[in-house]
Amino acid sequence: MLSISDFSAMCSLPPQTLRYYHSEGLLVPADVDERTGYRSYTFEQVERAMLITVLRSTGMSVTLVRRALDQPEVTLSLLRQHATEVRRERQAQDEAIRDAHEFLASPPEPVVRHVGEMTVASKLVSGPPPEHDRTDWDAIDAATTATVQDLTKTVKSCGALVTGAPWRALASGTPEQKSRILAGEDPDWLVKVPVTGEEHALAALPADIEVEMFEARDELSIFMPGRSSMAKHSTALSRLLAHPLDAAYLDTSRMRHLLHDDGVETTIAICRLPEPSAEA
């Protein structure tokens, strides 16, 4: 029998870690003195301790390690699943680091710009499902991206061209859609893409795609890098609404989110106030 101190030195595992593994049923001592609580191990348990160390060093949880040891036939499958999750987490961390760097190096600021008249193709976003969390921007982004891809493919198949960045906007064309927005319920979204093409090409688009004219206007715009979130959306709105304008105001009913590869640009139409009359 090996004392806990000898076993600890042999396996390079601190005694407190061995006690934790015991409490979790991961590495149970060969013997525990009922009177003193003194733990003893056998030399054969060194291999199990080594396997635990190997698996734990990958970042696997105690629960997964226990399953891997109790079911050796699924160990490799569990390790592959864990490796996939680790890569996903690393990618998310890398994106978050780039996101944070952009924010700190060049804080987003509102800018005024003029947008010219253009023809756009518009389609209602397919999903996310009605039961989704209305603040789940990952679900909104995924549904928007799928609709953009489908809309772009359809436009090209009819012989028209996409000529600019797509955007999404709240659908408010029907009383029901307006009512949901006013009630704070899950809104419908529309995807719009600038297009150009012969009249017959645009007329050949399916009935669920509407071709309309986007009127020229001045906008106040702010770009938020990285993935969408409710916090970023709220920050964008806060900065836009707080930005001073000369003899003008923002029409929040005409807001859109331009979708870029590296982030989302939120814009709101600027409405100019009429100049005071000479008589006034």
Q: Tell me the pLDDT tens digit for each residue of 8-40.
A: 999 999 999 999 999 999 999 999 988 998 999
Give pLDDT tens digits for 229-243. Answer: 888 899 999 999 999
What is the per-residue pLDDT for 92?
Answer: 85
Domain presence at residue 145: yes
What is the domain count for the chain?
A: 2
Statement to judge: residues 148 and 251 lie in one domain: yes
Assigned token pair, 272: 């100019």
- Cis ω before 14 (30° cut-off from 0): no
User: Residue 130 maps to which CATH number?
Assistant: 3.20.80.10
Both 120 and 24 in a single domain?
Answer: no
Structural domain range at position 248 = 111-272
Residues 71 and 117 in one domain: no
Q: Is residue 279, in this structure, part of any structural domain at all? A: no
In terms of domains, do 20 and 117 share one? no
Tokens of 193: 């893409």
Residues 136 and 218 reside in one and the same domain? yes
Q: Is the same domain home to 115 and 71?
A: no
Q: Could you tell me if residue 199 is inside a domain?
A: yes
Letter for the amino acid at 127? G
Task: Mark whether 68 and 158 lie in a shared domain.
Answer: no
Spatial contact of 31 and 1, defined as CB atoms under 8 Å apart:
yes
Inside any domain, residue 170? yes
Structure-token match 């916090």, residue found: 231
Each residue's pLDDT tens digit, 116-153: 999 999 999 875 545 555 567 888 888 999 999 999 99
pLDDT tens digit sequence for 58-100 = 999 999 999 999 999 999 999 999 999 999 999 988 888 888 8
Q: Are residue 67 and residue 125 in the same domain, yes or no?
A: no
In a domain, 94, yes or no: no
Among candidate residues 76, 92, 125, the one where a domain is terminated = 76
pLDDT for residue 265 is more than 70: yes
The pLDDT confidence band at residue 275, using thresholds 50, 70 and 90, is confident
> In which band, very low, low, confident or very high, does the pLDDT at 278 lie, cut at 50, 70 and 90?
low
Burial (CB < 10 A; 0-12, 13-18, 19+), residue 167, is buried
> Does residue 101 lie within any of the structural domains?
no
Domain final residue pick, 56, 76, 96? 76
State pTM to two decimals: 0.68
Residue 100 lies in a domain: no
Segment 155-202, tens digit of pLDDT: 999 999 999 999 999 887 666 666 655 655 566 889 999 999 999 999
Instruction: Give, for 192, the enclosing helix (H) or strand (E).
Output: strand 189-196
Query: Do residues 66 and 126 share a domain?
Result: no
Count the Cβ atoms, other than its own, within 10 Å of residue 254.
17
Determine the pLDDT at residue 119. Answer: 96
- Predicted local distance difference test score (pLDDT) of residue 277: 67
pLDDT over 90 at 101, yes or no: no
128 and 39 both lie in a single domain: no
Same domain, 56 and 163: no
Residues 46 and 177 in one domain: no
Q: Single out the residue in 22, 49, 76 at which a domain terminates.
A: 76
Q: Which of 139, 165, 133, 124 is nearest to 264 (CA)?
A: 165
Residue 72: give its domain's CATH number.
1.10.1660.10
Q: Supply the Cα-derived Rg of the chain in whole angstroms.
A: 30
- Cβ 206 vs Cβ 224: under 8 Å: no
Inside any domain, residue 36? yes
pLDDT class of 45 with cuts at 50, 70, 90 = very high
